[in-house]
Amino acid sequence: MESKETKRIKKKHKRKSWLIVIGSLIILLGVFDVSLMFIKPAMQQEQEENALKDFYIKEEQKVDKVDKTTSEEVKEVSKSKVKYDYIAVLKIPKINLEKGLVAKDSKYNNINYGVEILKESDSPDVINGNVILAAHSGTANISYFRNLDKINVGDEAIIYYQGKTYNYKFVKIYDINKTGKAKIKRDNNTSTLTLVTCRHNTNKQIVLIAELQNLQ
């Protein structure tokens, strides 16, 4: 028959074993969470790269530059799990931004996924129209406009759309109060591009107006 001391020791060991198991689980969960922090952005980046590649290949088709190799590339990309079907691409060399744009009626046309084409926006090919885009600032993976405050008047922006290249130059940058509405001060007799985002950690929004310089 076991003594009280033996029972006490066994009970202590059993409790210690459970603590080790629980501690190991906590460590594993922590490692899993940390892994997700790196894996998820990597997956998003891969999806982005696939979608951009798919877009540029389609653009080449629209300007009659498709050869056998390109056609094979189209088939290869179509096999990949491209999440976004881009209709245009916004590029701002100054801040190393290259981001695809989906159609207005796409469920992914939302600032919580990427750069949003606002419902009031025109398409780039509308004469004297205004392309209006918005995205988050901040530090999250979806904060594609985090560096808009680094843009100056005179810097360039490009939109690739329907096989054509629209080259813009920023002409006006100003702040507005964050009210849910943005007052756009632009020349209505010129085709323009308007970018809107929040100034991080403030109650202000920054509005950038660029005018079309040439179309290629």
Q: Please give the single-letter amino acid code of residue 59.
A: E
> pTM of the predicted model, to two decimals?
0.69
- Residues 184 and 176 sit within 8 Å (Cβ to Cβ): no
Instruction: Please tell me the predicted confidence (pLDDT) of residue 70.
Output: 43
The residue to which tokens 């490009």 are assigned: 158
106-to-11, 12, 58, 177, 183 alpha-carbon distances in Å? 61, 60, 18, 29, 25
HSE (side-chain half, CA atoms, 13 Å) at 123:
11
Instruction: Please tell me the predicted confidence (pLDDT) of residue 60.
Output: 60
pLDDT band at 138 (very low <50, low <70, confident <90, very high): confident
4-13, 89-98, 132-141: least confidently modelled range: 4-13
pLDDT, mean over the chain: 78
pLDDT band at 129 (very low <50, low <70, confident <90, very high): very high
pLDDT band at 57 (very low <50, low <70, confident <90, very high): low
β-bridge partners, 156? 169
For 162-200, write each residue's pLDDT tens digit.
Answer: 999 999 999 999 999 988 777 898 999 999 999 999 988
- Residues 163 and 88 sit within 8 Å (Cβ to Cβ): no
pLDDT band at 55 (very low <50, low <70, confident <90, very high): low
β-bridge partners, 149? none
Domain ranges of the chain: 1-83, 85-215
β-bridge partners, 92? 97
Instruction: Say whether domain 85-215 belongs to CATH 2.40.260.10.
Output: yes
